Structure formats: C-alpha cells, structure tokens
Amino acid sequence: MGRNIVVMSNCQTGGLHAALAAMLPDDQVTSLAWLGAEPAGLRPLLADADVWVCSIPRSQAEAIAADCGAAPRIVVVPTVWFPAFHPDQTPLLLRRGGELEGAVGPYHSKICAWGWTHGFSVDDVLSCFRPDVFAGLGYFDAWAPAVAELRGIFEPTDVDFAGWFLPLGRRGAFMLTNNHPRIDALVQLARSVAVLLDADPELVRYGWEQVLPDGLLASSVVWPLYPAVADVLDLPGAYVWRLASGELIDLPTFVVRCMDRYASLDPAEVDTDHLEVDPRFPATLGTSAPALVSGASGGR
C-alpha cells in the first residue's frame, strides 16, 4: 500500500505536488498552500499522513503535528527567493497595510518607484534604464549576495543547496520573478525530496520539466531579464513583461502604466523607505527631476 504524502508550501505547491506525484506514482500525494496562515483542512490531512513535505520551519511543523496527534515524517523544503535575475524588482507596501498593486500585479520597478516619488517624468524614468545606471545601483553585483542568501535559506531544510542549484545553472534564468521559481527549479526540489523518500531513480532522473505544465508561468507575472543585466550573466535578455492576463508589454508601455498607476497616489501613502535609505539611489539617480539628461531611453 502506498503512503499518504501531504505537500504544503507557498506558490511552489502546485509544481512540487505535480512533480512528486509523478516521481512517486504508488503514493497518494495531496497538497494545500500555506499563504501566511495555517490553511483550513491541514490537520485532518496530517492525521492520516505518512509524510509531510512543507516549507515552514521544522519546529513549527513538529509543533503542529504534535498538537493534532499526528506523527508523519517531516521533510522541510525551502521557499525559493532569488533576486539576482531581477534586481530592479521590488514589492511596495502601503503604510495603511497591504501591498500596492501596480502595472504588473504586486511587483514594481525600483527605478520607477524612485522616479515617481522624486517627481520624474515618464521620459526621465525611461532614461534611467541603461547600463551605467544599473551599475550604480548595484544590479550587476547582485549574483554573489543572492546566492549566499539562498544558501542560507536552504541551510535549515532537508534539501542540499549544491545538489539543487548546480544543475539549474545550465538552464538560464530559473526564476520568473524574485519569488516565483520556474518549473525546472521546482522539479529539481522535488527530485531531492523523492530521493529521500526512496523513489525509483529512473523516475527521479526523468525529464519532468518537459512534461509538467508550469502553473506559475501560466497564471502569473513574468519579470524580464533586462538586457544589460543579462549581458553580465551571459544570458539572453529583453524588456518584455508578461502580465497575468498573458499580455506582453515592452519597456515604454511598462513605465507609462506604472506612472499612470502611481499618479492617483500620494507618495506618503507608500512605503519606499528601503529605497530612501539606500545611498546608491540618490547617488545614481539624484533626488529631484530631471535626474538624468543623457543616455538613450530604453536602450541597452
């Protein structure tokens, strides 16, 4: 008889579920998402679970299992967050609470946000998307600290960082946004778990990346790999944002929509403190419009 396996993570849940169910066909794999609070229905599932694959801290998982009288094997996986491909991307919080929805959902450009709060025009902001500005803001130096931070995220989990990260290095930009891994990154996470659960090695090795649909790609935003950042990483890049609706927009359209969205807001309502305290922004962009008067708008 197969095992009952419960998979619980954030936006990674669907991909992990699909990949583990494929690698462990004799087991019953059930999933639910933890999005900041314990999901309804978790405890009844744990009561019958043999394995609980989760991305909450181990101590918290053990406490929940003990509280409901369950004793599944707990396998902790990381929640992947990796900004090296998209160093300009940032969330923006409203000071009254909640996230600000922008032109592409909850994701914003640091350059656009800085420009808006300091009175830049659309053309001023567009002129900032160029290599010397990216260099001044540290976008070309994002790789090493992002890898170090991600290694730390993996450290308390049951997934070996090098075993996950090194195979992905041959696949290009494995993140759709800073917090949304591509399907190959999720399959690689599932492989680590499947090995721990004694899956058939042939099924673990199989190229599930070519078979499983990418739910995040199909339903959410894809942030572009800016051409100048891509050059540093020796990857192809382009200014193309994919919206959750599937619409593709270019850099001028993105900037116009961002500035239009912000136009109805008071900058004091939006928390941009993380930009204001970063000395690279005033040093590179200035503190009043027009910040930059040279350079080709939207160029490499």
Share of the chain above pLDDT 70, in %: 96
Tokens at 265, concatenated: 């807001």
Q: Which amino acid is at 122?
A: V
Tell me, rounded to whole angstroms, the distance of Cα 139 from its chain centroid. Answer: 17
* Radius of gyration for the chain, computed over Cα atoms and rounded to the nearest angstrom: 21
Paired with 108 in beta bridges are: 90
Mean pLDDT to the nearest integer, 104-116: 97
Quick: pLDDT tens for 264-295.
Answer: 999 999 999 999 999 999 999 998 766 454 44
Residue 8: how many other CB atoms lie within 10 Å = 25
Whether the pLDDT of residue 163 is over 80: the answer is yes
| Amino acid in position 120 | F
Query: What DSSP letter does each residue of 139-187 carry, written as one string?
Result: GGG-HHHHHHHHHHHHTTSSS-HHHHHHHHTTSS--EEETTEE-HHHHH
> Could you tell me the pLDDT band of residue 36, with boundaries at 50, 70 and 90?
confident
Which residue is associated with the tokens 């730390």?
Answer: 152
Is the confidence at residue 299, as pLDDT, over 80?
no
pLDDT reported for residue 296? 38
pLDDT at 169: 75
The correct answer on CATH 3.40.50 for the domain covering 4-77+179-219 is yes
The per-residue pLDDT of the chain, averaged, comes to 94
Pick from 107, 105, 122: nearest CA to 255: 122
- Asked if residue 16 has pLDDT above 50, the reply is yes
**Tokens at 292, concatenated:** 């930059």
Average pLDDT over residues 239-256: 97
Question: 270-271 and 89-90: which strand pairing?
Answer: unpaired
Cβ atoms of residues 190 and 16 within 8 Å: yes
Question: What's this model's pTM, rounded to 2 decimal places?
Answer: 0.92
* DSSP string over 236-291: -----EE-TTS-EE-HHHHHHHHHHHHHTS-GGGEE-HHHHT-THHHHHH-SSS--
Looking at the DSSP bridge assignments, the partners of residue 228 are none
Tokens 């494929």 — which residue?
Answer: 22
pLDDT in tens, 51-80: 999 999 999 999 999 998 989 999 999 999
Amino acid at 228: A
Mean pLDDT of 225-247: 96
pLDDT at 297 exceeding the cut of 50: no
Q: What is the mean pLDDT of residues 199-227?
A: 95
- Report CA torsion sign: 107, 111, 112, 114: positive
Please choose, from the candidates 213, 239, 214, the residue with its C-alpha nearest in 3D space to the C-alpha of residue 226: 239
Strand 180-181 versus strand 28-33 pairing type: unpaired
Domain residues of the chain, as ranges?
Answer: 4-77+179-219, 81-178+223-300
pLDDT grade, residue 300 (50/70/90)? very low
For 69-109, write each residue's pLDDT tens digit. 989 999 999 999 999 999 999 999 999 999 999 999 999 99
Residues 127-151: pLDDT tens digits? 999 999 999 999 999 999 999 999 9
Nearest Cα to 167, choosing from 149, 148, 143, 191?
191
Cα 196 from chain centroid (whole Å): 25
